[in-house]
Amino acid sequence: MKHYNLSKLFKILCALFLFSVNLEAMDLPNFTELVANNGAAVVNISTTKNNHDRQMPRFPPGMQIPEGTPFDELFEHFFNSPGRRSQPYESHSLGSGFVLSSDGYILTNHHVIKNADKIIVRFSDHNELEAKILGSDDRSDVALLKVEATNLSSVKFGDSTQLKVGEWVLAIGSPFGFDYSATAGIISALGRSLPSDSYVPFIQTDVAINPGNSGGPLFNINGEVIGINSQIYSRTGGFMGLSFAIPMDIAMDVVAQIKAQGYVSRGWLGVAIQNVTHELAESFGLEKPRGALVSKVLTGSPAAKAGLEPGDIILTFDSKIVLTSSALPPIVGRTLIGKSVDIMVMRNNTRKIIQVTIKELPKSDEMARYNGNMGFSIDDRLAIEIVNLSNEQRENFTIPNGGVVVVKVSSGHAATAGLRPGDLILSINNYKITDTKHFLALTKILPEGKAIPLLVHRGNSAIFLALRITSGGK
């Protein structure tokens, strides 16, 4: 019988294990040099907003005084005067950014500096400079800032069109105010479309991104910036493994337009679209699901003038293949204004080429007149997005007179009043609302400094909210 030296065998196995571990470690990226070379180009951005609408309590805390007494006027004079009821205060926000060029151009997110009265940029050497906004684009969430400085450390740009799922990426930013924190991960997906941002094909990563990272750079393994960290998907408010970055090719297009003309313009087709399912593909004569199915053509739009129809499936746009509906808006948005392009559509089981001349995307307050019954619109004064009720919603709510549905609520007067996405607004200032156009007209004439009743249908009941329009911003 053969005898084995167990001690020797154990040593051999341990050596093999350590060798395999070392091989795996050799494959992992080392980000130390990347962070050392680029940390100085990443900045902390803090903003200050002067608010004038903080409402003080009717009486001091703990003082319970009934209404309707002979002393009402006296109490109002001492405790509830206009000077006491409204006192200015400052609100602050924190984000990240990075230096585009040594002469002081800085890139960050639009939502980081939105409505800011003062922007302070802090560098890695603790030097602080006040920045001015050269331009900011809400639809892409990109803002370009400028500080008066020279010889600043700046980043290198990578080609975001050549990214691949699975490659390593690293973010540097200020999550929760912890400056110059580095987090790494991989690209999880490309060309992601989010409900509120149809013009950006986001880079999805599993890099840990938290509040304060917004506006910071996303680097590839070569130390080149390929994206701007912008959003996370979370049910808790913190990181849950889903982060989204704006590709640098999109961001630099915004930068070029801001430098050239001070604002960003986009191409506009004028259709409502949806994805093509397996069942729809079969019904429309397609071998497999692909393209963007036109569900509505807006009156007076380039699509309407070119002859596009509901039921058309857009397969290519300006020779670019449209695989999904989410792929179309970014392509159209980056098309030059006034350019005539060929669109291949599937109509009645036959492929057809339609030529359309692209116009500039209308401003938010101009879009309602194109939308017809859809009536999608943005009320900048209240900072909300609204749509008309569909026929099905009218039947479900048993509301014959109209109203508008809230689809998005941003920071502003409506949010302060307690308005939420999904609320159905029935009346404002005791005027019954018919549609979005009517609602926009009413909000334009609302008085400032006075509480306005807002009747809202929420869930299974109707409630009143007190809306107050104040001066000095949203």
Other CB atoms within 10 A of residue 384 CB: 25
Q: How far is CA 125 from CA 54, 98, 173, 181, in A?
A: 36, 14, 15, 15
Beta bridge partners of 197: 194
Helix 436-444 with 364-371: angle, nearest 10 deg: 150
What contacts 447, CB < 8 A, 6 or more positions away?
469
User: CA-to-CA distance for 458 and 118, rounded, in angstroms?
Assistant: 38
Given the residues 141, 197, 379, 435, select the one marked as catalytic.
Answer: 141
Q: How do the residues of the chain divide into helix, strand and coil, expressed in percent and rounded to 5?
A: 25, 40, 40
SS3 246: strand
Given the residues 46, 96, 111, 179, select the one marked as catalytic.
Answer: 111
SS3 157: strand
Antiparallel, parallel or unpaired: β 292-297 and 340-347? unpaired
Q: Is 181 a catalytic residue?
A: no
Beta bridge partners of 47: 93, 119
**306-321 CB burial, b ≥16 within 10 A, e <16:** bebeeebbbbbbbeee
Antiparallel, parallel or unpaired: β 197-205 and 217-220? unpaired
Q: Is 111 a catalytic residue?
A: yes
Please name which of 420, 438, 418 lies closest in space to residue 428, comparing C-alpha atoms: 438
| Half-sphere exposure in the Cβ direction for 466 (13 Å, CA) | 5
User: CA-to-CA distance for 97 and 91, rounded, in angstroms?
Assistant: 20
Alpha-helical regions (H) of 314-371: 328-333, 364-371
Given the residues 174, 214, 325, 377, select the one marked as catalytic.
Answer: 214
Residues belonging to the active site: 111, 141, 214
